[in-house]
C-alpha cells in the first residue's frame, strides 16, 4: 500500500485468513494528511477480497483515529476490478466516510487526493 498511497508511513498486516475465493486480512497503518503532513493518524482496516461476476471486489472498513484514539472516524469502501474487453480492466471505487461538518472541505480534499493518487499509481504499475 505504501507504493500506491504516498500518505502512508507504516503499514502492517496483523491478521489474515481465507483462500482464493475469499481472502480476508486486517491491517494497522499510520498516515499523514496530504496537505497538512504534520497531522498524523492511526487506522485499522479490515479487507475482504472476492471474485465477482467479471472480476474481483475488494471491500474494506476502516477506523481512523487522531490524537490517542480520540476523534475516530469510520469509512467503508468497495473497489471493483472488472474485465473490459480482452486486455483492459475497469476499476470502480465507492467510498463513504465520516467527517465533522466543520472539516468537510478538508476531508473531501484528502479523500479525493488519495483516490486520484492511488489510481494514478495503479495505472503506472500495470503499464510496465
pLDDT tens, residue by residue, 2-50: 899 999 999 999 999 999 899 999 999 999 999 999 999 999 999 999 9
- Cell digits for 1? 500500500
Residue 104 binned pLDDT confidence (cut-offs 50, 70, 90):
very high
Whose grid coordinates read 481465507? 18
> What is this structure's pTM?
0.88
Instruction: Kindly report the length of the chain.
Output: 128
Contact of 58 with 74, CB cutoff 8 Å: no
* Beta-bridge partner residues of 95: 77
Distances from the Cα of 104 to the Cαs of 15, 66, 74, 110, in angstroms?
32, 16, 14, 10
- Cell digits for 116? 486520484
Residue 128 binned pLDDT confidence (cut-offs 50, 70, 90):
low
Q: What was the pLDDT predicted at 118?
A: 94
Average pLDDT in the chain: 93
Amino acid at each position: 500500500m505504501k507504493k500506491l498511497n504516498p500518505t502512508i508511513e507504516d503499514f502492517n498486516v496483523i491478521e489474515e485468513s481465507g483462500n482464493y475465493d475469499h481472502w480476508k486480512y486486517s491491517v494497522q497503518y499510520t498516515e499523514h494528511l496530504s496537505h497538512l503532513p504534520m497531522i498524523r493518524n492511526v487506522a485499522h482496516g479490515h479487507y475482504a477480497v472476492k471474485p465477482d461476476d467479471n472480476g474481483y471486489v475488494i471491500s474494506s472498513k476502516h477506523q481512523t483515529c487522531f490524537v490517542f484514539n480520540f476523534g475516530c472516524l469510520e469509512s467503508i469502501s468497495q473497489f471493483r476490478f472488472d474485465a473490459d474487453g480482452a486486455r483492459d480492466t475497469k476499476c470502480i471505487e465507492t467510498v463513504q466516510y465520516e467527517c465533522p461538518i466543520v472539516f468537510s472541505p478538508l476531508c473531501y480534499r484528502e479523500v479525493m487526493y488519495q483516490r486520484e493518487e492511488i489510481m494514478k499509481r495503479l495505472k503506472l504499475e500495470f503499464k510496465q
